[in-house]
Structure 1
């Protein structure tokens, strides 16, 4: 393998592997000797890659515009463009716009040959039964990120309405609906709420940071078990 290909592979390994990643792990990943690994690391740094750490401590790649563009296979490009197109079709206005901007940035960073693959992908997305995103989707998304409790009125499957305060954990896109995974303060348990059955949704001042990740992990564990 030539040195340019080896440097691209090393850069990709630094992006993929949990950091800091040791020289021994990188050398094994690259199937090269430690001495070659150290020389290649020096070449990446000389080329503009911002890499922190050293032998014995592990390396951490800090992304920077000076780095070479990420290289994707044709199938990876196809998957990216299909995924972004799906978000543009199904997401709310802000999310659809974000998908459009993300696609433009990805395409602009690719070499010309790969750009053509992205622009003229072999597959496209179009939904005749295009779903209209609930108006409170953006509000709930922000509440999830900010880890803030949400007050709402919810109509259950029997048609009964109740006032709830919940800790929103994750929004799940199902075939025909959107589902919010949450901790219900009323029931003191995990619950799944359909966004279409929510009304009067407001974000409160109550914060449940930093419990979201641990709660979501436990919810997923229970879902897998049941």
Structure 2
């Protein structure tokens, strides 16, 4: 890798972090020395790139800095297309359409040799075997985005139906089922409801009294899930 290529890789890497990242982490990702990272960051700064931070604290690229158009390598294209094809097969029509649009946008910016990975993919996704797990996904996602409560009619594993008013937090996509994580007003506790056991779903006019961010944090704490950053 030439130094010019490494500088571009460093820019792309900095863009992927929302929070300050240490030179050690950047060096490990790029397989170079920490001293090389310090020199590269100083070079980028002298070229006008708005990077804030210092040694021992970390570095962050200002969000309003515009990088050259994105480019992907073959492995990144495989990862993106596999993920988007999974979304097309395992979610609601609205997300399926969004995934198809994303594939088209990615295809438009790729050189011909990489675009062939989209036209003739080597990684395949099987359709879901439980169509009932796809019901109500659009309404549930809308309620999450709008921070509205959901009214459910739910049948448990014993066949007993009940009405619930819940604060939706997140959807879990497992191999065979989809599960809603939420706060249940009836039980006054976090609960998990399988989508394929829901008989009715309606978006309430009532807003959830807490932000989804706070609910998500409390739910993760209750479930013993580490508050890890995704990138």
1:86 match: 86
5 Å matches for 1:43-82? 43=47, 45=49, 51=50, 53=52, 58-62=59-63, 67-82=67-82
5 Å matches for 1:58-137? 58-62=59-63, 67-127=67-127, 129=129, 131=131, 134-137=134-137
Indicate conservation of the 8 Å contact 2:26/2:37, yes or no.
no
What is the root-mean-square deviation of aligned Cα atoms in Å?
3.0
> CA offset at residue 14 of structure 1?
0.3
Say whether 1:183 aligns with 2:187. Answer: no
Q: 1:162 to 1:67 in 2, by over 3 A?
A: same
1:138 match: 138
2:229 match: none
5 Å matches for 1:205-224? 205-210=206-211, 211-221=214-224
Structure 1: gaps of 5 or more residues? 46-50
More displaced 10-residue stretch of structure 1: 131-140 or 89-98: 131-140
- Distance in 1, matches of 2:104 and 2:179, equals 29
Spell out, residue by residue over 1:128-158, the C-alpha distance to the aligned partner (whole angstroms, 9 max, x if none).
8473654421111122233322111111111
- Distance in 2, matches of 1:165 and 1:213, equals 17
Other structure's SS at 1:68 match: coil
More displaced 10-residue stretch of structure 1: 172-181 or 27-36: 27-36
**TM-score, reference length from structure 2:** 0.78
> CA offset at residue 186 of structure 1?
0.5
> CA offset at residue 88 of structure 1?
0.8
- Distance in 2, matches of 1:19 and 1:222, equals 21
Spell out, residue by residue over 1:200-221, the C-alpha distance to the aligned partner (whole angstroms, 9 max, x if none).
3222213233232223312431
> CA offset at residue 79 of structure 1?
2.1
Spell out, residue by residue over 1:157-190, the C-alpha distance to the aligned partner (whole angstroms, 9 max, x if none).
1111111111111111222221111111101112
> CA offset at residue 94 of structure 1?
0.3
